[in-house]
Amino acid sequence: MNDPRVFQHRHYAHCESGAVAALLSHHGLNLSEPMVFGLAGGLTFAYLPFIKINGMPLMSYRMLPKSIIRNVQKRLGIRFESKTYRNKGEALDDLRRFINSGQVVGLMTSVYWLPYFPPEMRFQFNAHNLIVYGEEGGEFLVSDPVFDHAVRIRPEDLQNARFAKGTLSPKGYLYYPAVVPTEIDLKTAIPAAIRKTVKMMLHGPLIFGLRGVSFMANRIENLQGRKDSRYIRLFLGHVVRMQEEIGTGGGGFRFIYAAFLQEAADILQMPSLQEASVKMTEAGDRWRQFALACAKAIKNKEGGMDLPGIAGLLRDSAAAEKEVYLLLKKAGL
Amino acid sequence: MKVNEIPQDNIRTLGSLKKAVYALDENGQYQRAPTTGWEVEEIVLLDALADYDRKAEEARQKVLDRQSSPIAYFMYMRRMDTVTLAQAMGLFRWQVKRHMKPHIFRKLDAARLQQYADLFRIPVEALTRFEEEN
């Protein structure tokens, strides 16, 4: 099943959907990144107050790491081979064996240990996906989906990145598509994937889906009671970083999903999906306005922050997004 | 967001990195296009980094005043808190907190110090000779 072509680096918005799209097209199945993201049900919202990152609650605009790899298999009948390792040496030997036999592989890594990232971005984030497609002059050739050009890494740095400890520790996680069908039934897979996302966003409990967005809006409004303005600033900044930093495509993955809906409208010949795509773009724009308001509040250190106003923008985003899901629900998928 | 509205703010936190985003072209079709970053991202990231720098500076003073160990300083320099540090070291939180006490820190063995130095990406002397170098 191996394709003898040289691997071609492509630039994507998100690491996991990008890595999966790149690996699949290397194996002859051309799916766009938004299609991979949408089919895998990548979109979500969750506000998880009990999971703390540097003292802040976790909010996620997309599903958990590895879920795209898992769900494209379920939806499309693709099969990925994946491995984790206890032994670092074995993981490195295995990687070389794959590379030498012409297999291009995806790896889970920690950004903290990737020297080619800008220093400001090297936090302990353990679920970054990259592709290794060769070894040359003592370095591995890396196609990092969120970089606009291919990069290189020394084996010792890659080893550290693959075996970082902590939350979501990758444990050397390696994957590649083992079975890729030449024909896939998008006309069945797309509606099923959309239905699942709509259900979760509309009916997810309390802290999930659109209820989760309201929950976060209330939390932001309640920050008013806090005397510590630094905490408020850091909290708002944290939300925006989750929404806009590396690998979201802007607007917390909403634009990627809008692109998916547009492609789906074409494939299924359903104008209502194009309408949903337009509305999702509007929702993404509102999320960006919310981010902008947060940044302004942070920058304007001394002035009072209009927290109810910021929470209101968030509720606007949720309301705009709700229209998308109601439309999709009515579309009769 | 339209392609011509994609921010190109050349933010310094991205370095030379360009990100890819999805936006609408003039025909209303989604395209993937590069961005040099949005000012908003830079503001929030720099604010978060400034907070770590402030904590690192406080920790540095405390180390010189013999109230804390260099581990606290490098933890903040590397943008971690005690939870993240403990996880990255494979230790309990109370253990890393204990290692931040000067009298416990002085008794740490070479292997443990090396493990911290590796995680912080510094030579081990930066830990053991902190006072002389700061």
Same domain, A162 and A207: no
Query: In B, which residues are within 8 Å of A159 by CB distance?
Result: none
Residue A2, pLDDT score? 45
Which CATH number is associated with domain B45-133? 1.10.260
Same domain, A195 and A174: no
What are A285-326's pLDDT values in tens digits? 999 999 999 999 999 876 678 999 999 999 999 999 999 999
Same domain, A277 and A324: yes
Amino acid at B11: I
Q: Which helix (H) or strand (E) holds A139?
A: strand A139-143
Same domain, A168 and A22: yes
Query: In B, which residues are within 8 Å of A53 by CB distance?
Result: 84
Same domain, A100 and A142: yes
Q: How far apart are CA A87 and CA A101, in angstroms?
A: 21
Same domain, A297 and A271: yes
Residue A5, pLDDT score? 59
Q: How many CB atoms are located within 10 Å of the residue B62 CB?
A: 16
Q: How many CB atoms are located within 10 Å of the residue A190 CB?
A: 24
The model's confidence at residue A3, banded by pLDDT at 50, 70 and 90, is very low
Whether A84 contacts A108, CB under 8 Å: no
> What residue ranges of chain B have pLDDT lower than 50?
none
SS3 state of residue A119: helix
Total domain count for chain A? 2
Which residue of A240, A259, A262 is in closest CB contact with B44?
A: A240
Q: Which domain holds residue A304?
A: 186-330
Same domain, A201 and A130: no
SS3 state of residue A137: coil
Is A295 in contact with B40 (Cβ distance < 8 A)? yes
Query: In B, which residues are within 8 Å of A240 by CB distance?
Result: 40-41, 44
Q: How far apart are CA A58 and CA A85, in angstroms?
A: 28
CA dihedral A115, A120, A124, A129 (to 10 degrees): -60
- What is the DSSP secondary-structure string of chain B? -BGGGS-B---GGGTT--EEEEEE-TTS-EEEEEE-B-HHHHHHHHHHHHHHHHHHHHHHHHHHTTSS-HHHHHHHHTT--HHHHHHHHTS-HHHHHHHTSHHHHTT--HHHHHHHHHHHTS-THHHHTHHHH-
- Domain membership of residue A6 (yes or no) is no
Residue A169, pLDDT score? 93
- Domain membership of residue A9 (yes or no) is no
Same domain, A153 and A286: no
What are A80-131's pLDDT values in tens digits? 999 999 999 999 999 999 999 999 999 999 999 999 999 999 999 999 999 9
Q: How far apart are CA A314 and CA A47, in angstroms?
A: 13
Query: In B, which residues are within 8 Å of A284 by CB distance?
Result: 1
Residue A159, pLDDT score? 98
Write down the ipTM of this complex. 0.94
Is A241 in contact with B24 (Cβ distance < 8 A)? no
- Closest-approach residue (CA) in chain B for A13: B20
